[in-house]
Chain A
Amino acid sequence: MLTGVSYVLIALGLTLIFGVYRMINLAHGAVYMWGAYFCHVFSDSLGFNTYLATLIAMILAGFLSVGLEKTVFRPLKNNPDWVALVAGLGLYYALENFGWIVLGPRELHIHALATQKVIRFWGMYANLQKLILAGLCVVILVAMSIILKKTGVGRAMRAASSDQEAAKLVGININRISMLVFFLGGAFAAAAGSFVGSLTSVAPGMGFRPMIIAFVIVVFGGMGSIMGTVVTGLLVGVLQNILAYVIAPKFAYCFTMLSLLAVFVMRPKGLFGEDT
């Protein structure tokens, strides 16, 4: 389940970005990694409280993501799809390897007290940190759905994703909306990164596989649908664990990918997307 929750958070950011920008941000995994690293710096090196550090990491990663949008992705708007894809991949390489330079080959850890606490309820045991992560995820999801439905900013975001030209005509500042969306995407990724980092470890290469899985989730969830993203995210997390248990841990990733590819080919519009 934990894997599923972190996938949901990463995929949520990607969905938002895709909604407004109609592009897949391949640099997202690097933002996730850097988010985790920022959290490590603030919690372990500077001695901040873990959750405060997570919050700071979210803000920093948000700005990092906005920076990428402004310098790279905005000039590339209105080009064929693959241009932004390749540029994103280039960015990912630059950021990941910059990570290697700063972090070194060691794996770093984020210490959070909650990881050692185990909570017992209804006869089940659960790690407190995982519960907090799940809680945070729920809070973010509920907040996002309310913001998207009820507030002016949310309406502008939805307008921008359904029809950019029309949104411009009624006076919505697309650039500002894009920045907001990239900021939120970066922040959610950093939250996922921080929690995964506290439960396992922080390493420069940590972002690639979650990112790919998150893409697939975004596609299955039907590009831009939050509900779809959540359901598929959890499904994929569970699927991966079940496959690891049934077949062999070594091949779990391979089989998850294979089943995803199969669904992908059969339903490119996603499980929850509308048929057109």
Chain B
Amino acid sequence: MSKKKIIIGLILLAYAVIPVTSPENIVHLMTITGIWIIIASGLNLLTGYMGYVSFGHAGFVGIGAYASALLTMRLGLSFWSGALLASLITALFGLLIGLAILRLSGTYFSIGTLILGEILYSLYYNWSPVTGGFMGLNVPGVIFNIPGIIHFEFELIHWYYFVYILVFLIAGGLKLLVESHFGKELIAIRENESLSESLGVNVNLRKSQCLALTCFLAGLGGALLAHFMRHVDPASFAIAASTEFLTIVIIGGLASLVGPFFGAYVLITLSLYLEILGKWRMVVYGLIIVSIMIYARGGIAGILEKLFKTEFRK
């Protein structure tokens, strides 16, 4: 067994042990962080690998959250089919909107997604009959049911294991994807779009596939968030939330598979410890983003690369 496998095994073991040994609030935080990692991994694909910086990602997460909440509440679907369907709806939305916004590039794409995020937020906030307006919706919990064999309601510990199994499945999937031809083509698009087109990369197809995948993960994250928190409200999908997802990806290190993990844990730790600062929290938070941009643009993965001389980023 190689050294790498042992390390991965140890990490998985640590994740398995955490909920048993830690207090409940930590497990709760870890679960939320896990959902963030799912969303941020998707964003990383778009922003890190393909180089399209999205400023309105929370809007997509919102689609997943509201879609799954409404599907389960209004149509009486189970959480499982509701969440899957919601993710697919978000991906479909990404495909459609991608026809328009993927024609933009660079700064224009960022501003386009910023506007899109504002539109979606304003929709969640104002379309009260469907989204419940600023009060939001109360979402039913999740029941795990195989008829005749097992029946229980999801509690914190089930959520924890469920979310982290998904996290590692997705991380594994993304690793395969990034190392495949597809990933290399995305990187080619990031480096030089017209050159990769002339080298035979189907740029438009790859771009929409990438956006759809990103949106699928955002939708999945949104659905999980809605059912785990048992509540959706528009404030969770404002521009501030989009910034948070982007910050996770950037702090962690763009185009790095482990980046979203680092980013999400650093952010959650920061927000915990910055709680002492009270009102100053967001000020410090903003300044941290600025200083990362000035001094450490590779994020944490970039710093670790320098320290250990191994490659975390592509």
A residues sitting closer than 8 Å to B (CB atoms) are 23-24, 72, 75-76, 79, 81-87, 89-98, 100-101, 208-209, 212, 215-216, 219, 250-251, 253-254, 257-258, 260-262, 264-265, 268
Residue among A76, A82, A251, A257 having the largest count of chain B Cβ atoms under 10 Å: A82
Known A-B contacts A212-B118, A268-B108; A90 and B289 likewise in contact (beta carbons under 8 Å): yes
- Of residues 262 through 314 on chain B, the ones whose CB sits less than 8 Å from some CB of chain A are 279-290, 293-294, 297
**Is the beta-carbon distance between A83 and B293 smaller than 8 angstroms?**
yes
Determine which residue in B115, B123, B247 has the highest number of CB atoms from chain A within 10 A of its CB, and name it: B115
Q: Total number of A-B contacts with CB less than 8 angstroms?
A: 121
Would A254 and B122 count as touching, CB distance under 8 A?
yes
B282 and A94 contacting across the interface, CB-CB below 8 Å: yes
* Partner pick for A261 among B115, B290, B294, CB 8 A cutoff: B115
Q: With A93-B243, A253-B122 as given contacts, are A87 and B289 in contact (CB-CB < 8 Å)?
A: yes
CA distance A96 to B297 in the complex (A): 24
Residue of B nearest to A83 (CB): B293
Determine if B286 and A94 form an interchain contact, defined as CB atoms under 8 angstroms apart.
yes
Is residue B104 contacting chain A, with contact meaning CB distance below 8 A? yes
Q: Which residues of A contact B279 (CB under 8 A)?
A: 97, 100-101
- Chain B residue contacts of A96, Cβ below 8 A: 282
User: Are B123 and A81 interface neighbours, CB within 8 A?
Assistant: no
Give me 5 A-to-B residue pairs in the complex whose CB atoms sit less than 8 angstroms apart, sorted by A's number: A72-B294, A89-B243, A97-B286, A254-B122, A260-B115
Query: Taking chain A's interface residues, is the majority helix, strand, or loop, or is none over half, making it mixed?
Result: helix
Which residues of B approach A to under 8 Å, CB–CB? 53, 55, 100-101, 103-104, 106-108, 110-112, 114-116, 118-119, 122-123, 126, 239-240, 243, 246-247, 250, 279-290, 293-294, 297
Do A258 and B119 touch across chains, with their CB atoms under 8 A apart?
yes
Q: Is the interface of B mostly helix, strand, loop or mixed?
A: helix
Pick from B100, B101, B240, B290: contact of A91, CB below 8 A: B290
| A265:B285 contact, CB within 8 angstroms | no
Q: Which residues of B contact A89 (CB under 8 A)?
A: 55, 243, 289
Pair B110/A93 contact, Cβ less than 8 Å = no
A85 surroundings in chain B (CB, below 8 A): 53, 55, 107, 110
Q: A86 and B250 in contact (CB under 8 A), knowing A94-B290, A250-B126?
A: yes
Q: CB-CB < 8 A to B100: which residues of A?
A: 261-262, 265
Instruction: Find B107's partner among A79, A81, A94, A258 (CB 8 Å cutoff).
Output: A81
A216 with B297: in contact, given A90-B287, A97-B279 (CB under 8 Å)? no
